[in-house]
Structure 1
Amino acid sequence: MDKLEMRHTLLAAKARKQLSWEAIGSAVGMSPVWVASACYGMNSASHEVAHKLCDVLGVDSEAADALKAFPTKAWDEAIPQDPFVYRLYEVVGVYGETLKDVVQEKFGDGIMSAIDFTMEVDKVEDPKGDRVLLTLSGKFLPYKSW
């Protein structure tokens, strides 16, 4: 089973069992955001987590083998059409250089790691309409001079 077939298998099992990412993450002892990313094929899981995840979703060990495989992190370079994904793309397009400049003023010349990284998604209730709170936390990696 490759990552794409694994993705379809796991997402179908999630829908069939009517489980939330929060419930799945809690059952396997991992962040719901990370678990979703692994199920979408963008992260690899340890042997233990892969098998727990397959048990929770009721799928066979072929999916666990695919979960353990190292991913090729690639995405379609076309502008996303899904409104939610497009808005994130728009945020980076509009604010990317600004964020880079502000981070570099505070930390120096470098980047934020997407490897030593965590992300949380929270709902903030607001009388004017609930808000989405995305918290991205990546280790700062300074560029080296040699």
Structure 2
Amino acid sequence: MNKETMTDTIVSAKQKLGLTWEKMAVDLNMSPVWLASACLGMNSAPQEKATAIASYLGLDDSVAAALAAFPTKIWDQAVPTDPLIYRLYEVVGVYGDTLKEVIQEKFGDGIMSAIDFSMEVDKIEDPKGDRVLLTLNGKFLPYKSW
């Protein structure tokens, strides 16, 4: 089973069971962001987590094997038209250089890891309209000279 078929199978099972990523994450003791990313094919799951996810959803070993398989992280290079995803591109487009400058002033010449990384999505209720709080937490990796 490839990652695309795996994702379709998992999302269908999730919908059929009336589950949310948050509910699944709580029940499986996993981060909802990481869980969704693995189930959408962008990260591999350690075998024990892959087995737990497949079992939880009532899916077979082929799904667990696909979850554990290393992904090829390729995505459409065109700017997406989905409004939520587009807005994230817009944030990076408008604030990317600013973030780079501020991060490098604080840490030096380097990058934020997307491997040694975690992310959280929280809802902040506000009378003017609820807010989305994204927390990106990545290890700083300095560039080395040799």
User: Quick one: distance in 2 between partners of 1:54 and 1:66?
Assistant: 10
Q: Give the letter aligned to residue 86 of structure 1.
A: Y
User: Quick one: distance in 2 between partners of 1:118 and 1:61?
Assistant: 27
**Structure 1: where are the runs of 5+ without partners?**
none
Structure 2 residue aligned with 1:134: 134
RMSD of aligned C-alpha atoms?
Answer: 0.6
The percent of aligned pairs where both chains have the same amino acid is: 66
**Structure 2: where are the runs of 5+ without partners?**
none
Residues 109-120 of structure 1 mapped to structure 2, 5 A cutoff: 109-120=109-120
Provide the aligned length of Structure 1 versus Structure 2: 146
Residues 19-34 of structure 1 mapped to structure 2, 5 A cutoff: 19-34=19-34
User: Quick one: distance in 1 between partners of 2:7 and 2:35?
Assistant: 12
**TM-score after normalising by structure 1:** 0.98
Structure 2 residue aligned with 1:108: 108
User: Quick one: distance in 2 between partners of 1:44 and 1:129?
Assistant: 36
Structure 1 residue aligned with 2:13: 13
**TM-score after normalising by structure 2:** 0.98
Structure 2 residue aligned with 1:70: 70
Structure 2 residue aligned with 1:3: 3
TM superposition outliers: structure 1 runs of 4+ over 2 Å:
none
